[in-house]
Amino acid sequence: MRRFARIYVRWVDAMNYRIGRIMMYGIFVMMGILLWSSISKTFFLPTLWTLEMAQFAMVAYYITGGPYAMQLGANVRMDLFYHDWSVRKKAWFDAFTVLLLIFYLVVLLYGALGSTAYSLGYWGQEPLAYFAGLLTGSEEIGRLERSSTAWRPYIWPIKAVMILGFFLMLLQAISELIKDIATIREVDLHVV
């Protein structure tokens, strides 16, 4: 079990680190979109797509960058008592809160799957069965959901990004739980 935990933590941390480092540059994508929006509104005809595309870029930026922030411990903490605790006590507290986070992420992931299935034209109550049916060919994509703005982009791509982000965050939360349990048991997970 210890070997599996080491491999899992190393693999998930490396994957989320690389994705997070790439997504750091998403801020420049947003800046470029918003700069073009300002230029086009000032000197040309205003473009319809810039504001909504900047919102989509922002969602992709923070949803897929979240696991990286969690890995680095860059998330905000309420640190009234935490800094005075021992390493093991911090690990106990972190393990408990990560369990709550895992539950929350599972609920978010299920909701994102249902929302994405809806945006692909599925109006039933079983989004997991729908996606399994898409893979096997027994289900088809229906009428695709579009935004209600003047630009009217399809919504499913950003919802798919949300699924990816929630899944990556869930994997990272499990990795953090494994690290906390290793700290509680005083087991070294680092592989040289």
The model's pLDDT over 111-168, given as tens digits with 9 standing for 90+, comes to: 999 999 999 999 888 998 999 998 998 888 888 999 988 889 999 999 999 999 999 9
Residue 191, domain member (yes or no): no
Question: So what's the pLDDT on residue 89?
Answer: 92
Q: Are 189 and 178 in contact (CB under 8 A)?
A: yes
Please give the average per-residue pLDDT across 176-186, as a whole number. 93
Tell me if 57 is assigned to some domain.
Answer: yes
The answer to whether residue 176 is domain-embedded is: yes
Q: Which residue has the tokens 């692909």?
A: 120
Looking at every residue in the chain, the average pLDDT score rounds to 91
Q: Is 186 left (phi over 0), alpha (psi -120 to 50) or beta?
A: left
Q: Residue 80: inside a domain, yes or no?
A: no
**77 domain residue, yes or no:** no
Hunting for tokens 């950003």 — which residue is that?
Answer: 158
Structural domain includes residue 81: no
Within 8 A by CB and 6+ apart from 24, the residues are 65, 68
**Number of separate domains in the chain:** 1
The yes-or-no verdict on residue 180 having pLDDT over 90 is: yes
Task: Decide if pLDDT at 106 tops 70.
Answer: yes
Ranked by mean pLDDT, the top range of 43-47, 81-85, 174-178 is 174-178
Mean pLDDT of 85-114: 94
Give the separation between CA 42 and CA 16, rounded to whole angstroms: 39
Confidence category of residue 1, pLDDT binned at 50, 70, 90: low
Residue range 171-185: mean pLDDT, rounded = 94
In a domain, 190, yes or no: no
Q: Which domain holds residue 158?
A: 2-72+86-184
What pLDDT band is residue 189 in, cutting at 50, 70 and 90? confident
pLDDT digits (tens, 9 = 90+) for 47-64: 889 989 999 999 999 999
Does 78 reside within a domain? no
Q: Taking a C-beta distance cutoff of 8 angstroms, is the pair 12, 161 a contact? A: no
Predicted confidence (pLDDT) per residue in 10-41, tens digit: 999 999 999 999 999 999 999 999 999 999 98
Residue 191 pLDDT > 70: no
